[in-house]
Amino acid sequence: MLYVGERKIAERGAAPASALTARSVADTRRPGALIVGGDCGSLSVIRSLGRHGIPSRYVTDIDFLAKFSRYTKGSAAWPGPGHPTALSFLVQLAEQEGLNGWLLIPIGDAEVEFVAKNRERLAATFRLTTPDWDTIRWAVDKKLTYQRAEMLGIPFPRTYNVRSLEDVERLDFLFPLILKPAKKEEINAFTLAKAWRVDDRVELRARFIQAASLVGPGAIVVQELIPGSGSAQYSYAGLWHNGSPTASLVARRTRQLPVDFGRGSTFVETLDNEDIEDAAVRFLRSINYDGVVEIEFKFDDRECCFKLLDVNPRFWTWNALTQLAGLDLPYLLWQQTMGETGGETRRGLAGKSWMYVTRDIPAALHDVRAGRLTVLAYLRSMWRASGFAVFAWDDPLPALVEFPLTLWRRLVRFFTLRPGDV
């Protein structure tokens, strides 16, 4: 049996046993949000909604940081988006806990795809914040993303059409290159990495074989390596409704970890940049986008242009920066879904910054050793940070449990990767 407070949820079918905890009964006066997946990004979404009096529940299959927030009204371990009982689990939870009509907000890549592909059934229970599959596919599949960018005349890294080992042997390449997954449907060494760098054909062949064993040869993107670290990476972040922006900002992802291909940003600053905003707006308008989105770009100083890297149709790690910049995208998404917003597009303030301290320290040390950053400059960036990823004065517990949880999660992932993964 699954428990929520003193109440029980009967398991159905082959749903695995899970521990479910709650610190308060669902607030039935105001529709809340069921947050699915993610980690630090989920925490900031839950805090945003909670500060506006909107209750949130949290379900996850591995990242439990957000469950320790005082604003999380209940949490559950679920089987994950790839499990055959994933859909029935969410529907059953909503029926038994009175979550019908709540917003369903997926945070991770796999969770977004799961919601989009099960839209019809989930829409009968929840208010969905994720576009349909016909829209989402242009974002979650990098090959389709670059296809659309090429059609629109938006620069993107030179990408090779490699679908087999024979292509690796036959085509001419300009090294160095990167390999990255076209989609992130499951957890393995390749999808956990932002990218794998290769510097010659021998290394390319070995890495391609390894990646193909994990995701299949047709799901690998082989692409030029744009020089530069996190300071050359930028993002457009926004909220869209029926193909038009309702809120937006541009940020520079000044530091990231790992430094070359960051799985997550560690120090981000808002700024103004019309070129990035124009490219993002053209892309999103072309697919009639609706919902929250982040689009990553990297400045290529060889060609003096910003090149599109990724489109994330979901909340991202540093989304708390939008709140610091005056947008508060999670709450605006709730209002938009509830039909409570309208009017002109809101713009985020420039000059605000966000830091993920425990991850930014190793990133900063790397930059100090490379001569790109001084200790004094780093201390100044920490001093002027407008907000932090985990710590909050009104919600301190997540910061206290972050380190042991991070260590536990990495151990779990290490022991669950298939033999031969690195």
pLDDT at 27 over 70: no
Condensed to tens digits (0 to 9), the pLDDT of residues 150-181 reads: 999 999 999 999 999 999 999 999 999 999 99
Cα–Cα nearest to 284, from 250, 319, 246, 245: 245
42-67 mean pLDDT = 94
Per-residue confidence (pLDDT) for residue 389, from 0 to 100: 95
Spatial distance between the Cα atoms of 352 and 315, rounded to a whole number of angstroms: 18
CATH topology for the 2-130 domain? Rossmann fold (3.40.50)
Residue 189's pLDDT is 85
- How many angstroms separate the Cα of 248 from the Cα of each of 55, 167, 318? 25, 41, 14
Check residue 342 and give its pLDDT. Answer: 64
Residue-level pLDDT at 20:
46
pLDDT confidence band for 417 (50 / 70 / 90): low
* pLDDT for residue 408 is more than 80: no
Is the CB of residue 331 less than 8 Å from the CB of residue 48?
yes
Rg (CA), the chain: 21
> What is the spatial distance between Cα 272 and Cα 349, in angstroms, rounded to a whole number?
9
Tell me what pLDDT residue 269 has.
97
Calculate the alpha carbon distances from 96 to 4, 91, 166 in Å. 9, 9, 53
Least confident residue range of 16-30, 136-150, 256-270: 16-30
**H helix or E strand, kind and range, residue 319:** none
Instruction: Band the pLDDT of 412: cuts 50, 70, 90.
Output: low
pLDDT at 193: 80
Query: Residues 25-38: what's their mean pLDDT?
Result: 78
Domain residue spans in the chain? 2-130, 158-224, 230-390
Average pLDDT over all residues of the chain = 88
Helix H or strand E encompassing 8: strand 7-9
Pick the CATH number of 158-224 from 3.30.70, 3.30.1490, 3.60.21, 3.40.50: 3.30.1490
pLDDT tens digits, residue range 223-273?
999 998 778 999 999 999 999 999 999 999 999 888 777 678 999 999 999
* Listed residue (89, 94, 88, 79) closest to 125, CA to CA: 94
pLDDT digits (tens, 9 = 90+) for 389-399: 999 999 999 99
Does pTM surpass 0.95?
Answer: no
pLDDT of the residue at 262: 63
Residues in Cβ contact with 376 at an 8 Å cutoff, skipping those fewer than 6 apart: none
Q: How far apart are alpha carbons 369 and 282 in whole angstroms?
A: 40
| pLDDT-derived band at 19, boundaries 50, 70, 90 | very low
Q: Which residues are registered as beta bridge partners of 35?
A: 58, 105
Do residues 254 and 232 touch, judged by C-beta distance below 8 A? no
Pairing of strands 220-224, 177-181: antiparallel
The token duo for 418 is 């298939």
* Segment 365-382, tens digit of pLDDT: 999 998 989 999 999 999
For 230-390, the fitting CATH number among 3.40.50.720, 3.40.50.150, 3.30.470.20, 3.40.350.10 is 3.30.470.20
Q: Which of 344, 412, 359 is nearest to 389 (CA)?
A: 359
Q: What is the pLDDT of residue 260?
A: 75
Strands 264-271 and 244-257: antiparallel
Q: Give residue 409's pLDDT band: very low, low, confident or very high (50, 70, 90).
A: low
- On the question of pLDDT at 58 being above 70, the answer is yes
Could you give the CA distance from residue 396 to residue 387 in angstroms, rounded to a whole number? 13
